[in-house]
Amino acid sequence: MCAALGARTLLRENNLPDFACQIAIAERNNRLGIKIRISGGGKCNITHAGEMMHVLAEGFLRQGEQRFLKPSFFELSNETVLSWLHSKGVQTLTRENGRIFPRSGKADDVLCVFEELLSEHSIEVLLNAHVQSVRKENGVFVADVDGAQIQSEHLLIATGGVSYSKTGTTGDGLRFAKMFGHTIVNPISALAPIYFTQKPPSDLIGVSLRNALLIAETPTRKLTRKGDVLITHLGISGPACLSISRDVAEALTADRVSLFVDCFPDESEQLLEQQFISFQTARAGQFVRTFFEERLPNAIVPTLFAQAEVPLEQKWKNLSKPMRRSLTAISKKYFLGDVKEVPIERGEVSAGGVALHEVNPKTMRSRQVENLYFAGEVLDVAGEVGGFNLQAAYSTGWLAGESVAKALLDEGESLNYSN
């Protein structure tokens, strides 16, 4: 959508009449933008507030992805996207954590603005148009759409990722890109729940560990994320889980991965043990578990004591040194489970896709095939939760559209085409 808007805007700025250049979007669903409609639980986290450099740094943890996205993020910023919405009467709300939503809480309001803009910019939207294959014949792209053919001089592949396949994102774009000779980085899940080999005990399901440090360990690596962790019936979810899920999915392709939680991330192991030592006199007659029940969800405490091999009815006064040490160690590394799967279908995005080194970040143009472009999640980028992924789709799309328009204008110039 943004690509089409970017292209038409630049063409109009250069006085090219709309009839001189047809721009069409082929969408397999019966309406555009299904992911916008389901985003943010139907509320749509439109984008993230702040300077684009900060948005990039916060939203994309990998340097290579930040570098790749930078030119597009500066070409179309969060502010521009918001100005479109505001100009159409959609008010927005910025939460304390920087996430921006429509004030109405309705994702559909956002999508309606895009639909209105597309219509105003004379963009043809072909719905129920499932592109089955694309090829290039004599310099022209040919897309097969349910028995019909669409021809174009320039082609943008913006077919999204591979998760939530029921929404239409079944990875067709990756297949097309591969057919054009592009390298595809194997898609993996990101922003997804994590499933364990053994389901968590029923009394832990629904327990939320606030501001914990989630630790993912392989035999050779240790990855961490700070944030809330929610125990589910199959494993975990919650902000820290979603954020670490891509790294875990990647590690899991090569190694065993086990998950732990540091229940007291703001206290060092030494400090925690010092505290426990002081409690042995200051709270001598109290049950040890009271301290944990004051600071952690009650349901966790029995399993934490079981892992530490300390009786639940233990009092501070006769807590032995090995027990104290063990309790300290487990508090800092409570075992959650061994990872079975990071389900790709459940990822809010999928990482992997068209390899970034084969796409020019200043134009979104393929380095392999002339007049071929890529934008959005089909590329090997995946952002954090917070409106970053939609912003990446808008920005890369807009830049790709502008690049197509520039190429058309240059062609027009060389053919002495004007008005």
Ligand X SMILES: Cc1cc2nc3c(=O)[nH]c(=O)nc-3n(C[C@H](O)[C@H](O)[C@H](O)COP(=O)(O)OP(=O)(O)OC[C@H]3O[C@@H](n4cnc5c(N)ncnc54)[C@H](O)[C@@H]3O)c2cc1C
Residue closer to ligand X, measured from CB, 247 or 377? 377
Minimum CB separation from ligand X for residue 196, in Å?
A: 22
Specify the residue, 29 or 268, whose C-beta has the smaller distance to ligand X: 29
Count of Cβ atoms closer than 10 Å to residue 350 Cβ: 29
Residue of 388, 391, 393 lying closest to 364 (CA atoms): 393
Gap between the Cα atoms of 419 and 413, Å rounded: 11
Give the residue carrying structure tokens 């001189």: 20
Nearer to ligand X, 191 or 409 (CB): 191
Strands (E), 6-158: 24-26, 47-48, 92-94, 99-102, 124-126, 131-137, 140-145, 148-152, 155-157
Q: How far is the CB of 335 from ligand X (least distance, A)?
A: 30
Pick the closer one to ligand X by CB: 191 or 310. Answer: 191
Measured from the CB of residue 194, what is the shortest distance to ligand X in angstroms?
Answer: 17
Report the residue number whose CB is nearest to ligand X.
376
| Site residues for ligand X per CB under 6 A | 26-29, 34-35, 38-40, 44-45, 129-131, 158-160, 164, 168-169, 172, 348-349, 376-378, 387-390, 393
The shares of helix, strand and coil residues in the chain, as percent rounded to the nearest 5, are: 45, 25, 35
Shortest Cβ distance from residue 156 to ligand X (Å)? 10
In whole angstroms, the minimum distance from the beta carbon of 332 to ligand X comes to 33
Minimal distance in Å, beta carbon 212 to ligand X?
23
Q: By three-state DSSP, how is residue 271 classified?
A: helix
- Nearer Cβ to ligand X (215/378): 378
Nearer to ligand X, 98 or 376 (CB): 376
Q: For the beta carbon of residue 369, count every other beta carbon within 10 angstroms.
A: 16
Q: What's the CA gap between 108 and 34, in Å, rounded?
A: 9
Which candidate, 164, 161, 162, places its Cα nearest to that of 346? 164
